[in-house]
Amino acid sequence: MTSSELWTRAMAERYDTDEADSSTPEALEPLLALLTELAGDGPALEFAIGTGRIGVPLRERGVPVTGIELSAHMAAVLRRKVDADTLPVVLGDMATTRVPGEFSLVYLVYNTISNLLTQEEQVECFRNAARHLRPGGRFLVELLVPPLQLLPPGQVAVPFDVSDHHLGFDTFDLAEQMLTSHHFTRDTDDGRYRRVNTRHRYAWPAELDLMARLAGLHLDRRTADWTGTPFTATSPKHISIYRSPTT
């Protein structure tokens, strides 16, 4: 077991509803297009596949997908969408769990590598991806860039969403390189707010590049989003693609 916090049954049941805006066909199109391109004619492995928000539509595009998922509750929601023969899922952590076969693409999206709360586990995650890749295969990571430039001296909180139904802000422990994401979501049934806090270990792009080198991978390219916008010093997130040696 890793340091990742487990998703509960209640959280798993709400996940697809909470992420509905980011899961529309229009929102997913550039993401799925890039993953399909990178997979080519080979299979893909999704670390932390969750409810299948990405894996299921990617499989529908003809890419054979296998998943690793730590939460049995999240995997149970996925299983309602697709059977085990069509999309196999292995319960386990993404830092150590092995599945059979070699893959042309391993991918880890939506900031999920930050669920591993120690640097050692994040390094092992890269090594686990490398173990699953065929020669020349790619490991894709989507991760936010910590918005520390927005923190004036003494401030530890940054809001990322202030809307009618949701208030979200992150608080930072700069000494430990940790952030806690706070969500206050208004339920439509009774109007009360539901609070969820999750902990994450943030990492800079250069730190991920070093993790990749320790795993025998090298940076192939990095963009600011799924459509290929160049990554700059002000980009709020990055899509980093690492490649395994061809021999």
CB neighbours of residue 63 within 10 Å: 21
Pair (72, 91) in one structural domain: yes
Whole-number pLDDT of residue 16: 85
Pair (23, 75) in one structural domain: yes
Q: How many domains does the chain have?
A: 2
Residue 2 lies in a domain: no
Whole-number pLDDT of residue 148: 85
Pair (183, 211) in one structural domain: no
Distance, in Å, from the CA atom of 217 to the CA atom of 97, rounded to the nearest integer, reads: 19
Pair (18, 112) in one structural domain: yes
Q: Does the pLDDT value for residue 116 go beyond 80?
A: yes
- Please give, one letter per residue, the 3-state secondary structure of 134-187: EEEEEEEEEEECCCHHHCCCCCCEEEEEECCCEEEEEEEECCCCEEEEEEEEEC
Q: What is the mean pLDDT of residues 157-182?
A: 89
Identify the domain containing residue 168 by its residue range. 148-198
Q: What is the mean pLDDT of residues 90-112?
A: 96
What digits encode the pLDDT tens for the residues 18-33? 888 888 999 999 999 9
| 111 band by pLDDT with thresholds 50, 70 and 90 | very high
How is residue 92 annotated by DSSP?
Answer: S
Pair (176, 189) in one structural domain: yes
Whole-number pLDDT of residue 152: 81
Pair (136, 21) in one structural domain: yes
Q: What is the mean pLDDT of the chain?
A: 93
Pair (57, 110) in one structural domain: yes
Residue 96 lies in a domain: yes
- What SS3 class is residue 39? helix
Whole-number pLDDT of residue 157: 86
Whole-number pLDDT of residue 188: 66
Pair (116, 226) in one structural domain: yes
Pair (130, 157) in one structural domain: no
Q: Does the pLDDT value for residue 189 go beyond 70?
A: no
Whole-number pLDDT of residue 11: 85
Pair (68, 123) in one structural domain: yes
Residue 180 lies in a domain: yes
CATH code, domain carrying 57: 3.40.50.150
| 221 band by pLDDT with thresholds 50, 70 and 90 | very high
What digits encode the pLDDT tens for the residues 121-137? 999 999 999 999 999 99
Pair (178, 210) in one structural domain: no
Residue 24 lies in a domain: yes
Whole-angstrom CA distances from 37 to 8, 63, 133, 147, 182 are: 34, 10, 16, 30, 35
Distance, in Å, from the CA atom of 29 to the CA atom of 36, rounded to the nearest integer, reads: 10
Residue 170 lies in a domain: yes
pTM metric for this prediction: 0.93
Q: Does the pLDDT value for residue 191 go beyond 80?
A: no
Pair (191, 96) in one structural domain: no
